[in-house]
Amino acid sequence: MDLSEIRGKIDSIDDKILDLFIERMNLSLEVAKFKSANNMVVFQGDREKFIIDSVRENAPEPLKKSAAFLFMNIMDISKCAQINEISPDFKLDFTDKIKPRASVAVQGIEGAYGHAACKKLFDNGSISFFASFKEVFEAVESGDVDYGILPVENSTAGEVTANMELLERHSVYICRTVFVECAHVLAAKKGVREEDVKILFGHEQAIRQCTSYIESRGNLTVIPYHNNAAAAKMVSENESGELGCICSAECAEMHGLDIVRDSIASDPDNRTRFICISKNVEVYGGADTVAVSLSIPNISGALYRLLTKFAVNGLSMSKILSKPLPTDVKMKYPEDYMFYIEFDGSVKDPVVRRLLGNFQSELNYFKFHGNFAGHRG
């Protein structure tokens, strides 16, 4: 046979495969209706294992793994169709109103980037400053404040790991996001020259964002500080002319410091993404991103099968991060892996709610983090 004849036979086989696939999917929906009528769950692990083992056993040696993988995909697509047909919605009560004259918790002091993020989101909010991110989470969870502002990701230094872990531990929800430009400067007391600065203070994230400048200074001593604005305040109150800090131009002016070097961030477009958290679920108009954490078993193809559910439902993921499981879950399911995922969608969409409901019922660990406008920060 020449190439055109071979391709013709392949096309003929593909047509048959498509016809059989359609027939199989129609039967899968009949199965879904039967399961619904008899209060049966969609996922039945024993039957799936029996089918996959049978396929693997009957396939020729070179194709055993490929055949098993093919049928796993077909079964996953079938399960998605069944889920959309009969699965109950994810139950979620939420409000779509931002609290008027809200009280807001921010880590640090006035002039910090968190303060700037807060002002972008709340024009007339009552702001309370806290020493640690943990205290911000606790203040929101306890109801002492309405909202909390927290950095979670920087374009240069990556995620703020501590806050992503705290998000997992506390019963709070993401309701808004905002990006703040972090145009770091080197600031020092009035009259101090750049070369006079021997000791540099800044938040560990800001230090990582200014690596190129710090390395160019050679013998500069760098000391992490809990907050850039607090570092600026400390430098302004210290009599030594050898101290400098990383902060914003606005913060330097606020504390009476000179800017001895502009734009010291390694990336000129350096910016940080902040989340706004609330005690209860709040979903506002324009919410286009859903955030969840979930676990999957440590078996071959588990992540691929998870991703299939998004693909079949036409839901695009904008973020996926591997994260450590909470300690209590890890003790119960030591072999599982956890992922933090953000995907395009709205909880008002029945497809999204059914997918979330499926995660809740099928996975060992699942946590809904919120639905918010993620692409307009």
Q: Mean pLDDT of successive 10-residue segments in the chain (377 residues)?
A: 94 97 94 85 78 95 94 90 80 90 94 94 92 97 98 91 95 97 96 96 94 94 95 96 96 96 92 97 96 93 90 94 91 94 95 91 94 76
pLDDT one-digit tens code per residue, 65-84: 999 999 999 998 998 888 88
pLDDT number for residue 51: 92
234-243 long-range contacts (CB < 8 A, ≥24 apart) are 234/201, 235/187, 235/188, 235/189, 235/201, 236/189, 238/189, 240/199, 241/188, 241/189, 241/191, 241/192, 241/196, 242/196, 242/197, 242/198, 242/199, 243/188, 243/189, 243/197, 243/199, 243/201
pLDDT number for residue 8: 96
pLDDT number for residue 377: 46
pLDDT number for residue 375: 62
Quote the Cα angle for 173-120-132, to 5°. Answer: 55
pLDDT number for residue 166: 96
pLDDT number for residue 272: 94
| 8 Å CB contact between 57 and 320 | no
pLDDT number for residue 207: 96
Task: Kindly tell me the burial class for residue 16, based on how many C-beta atoms sit within 10 Å of its own C-beta (0-12, 13-18, 19 or more).
Answer: exposed
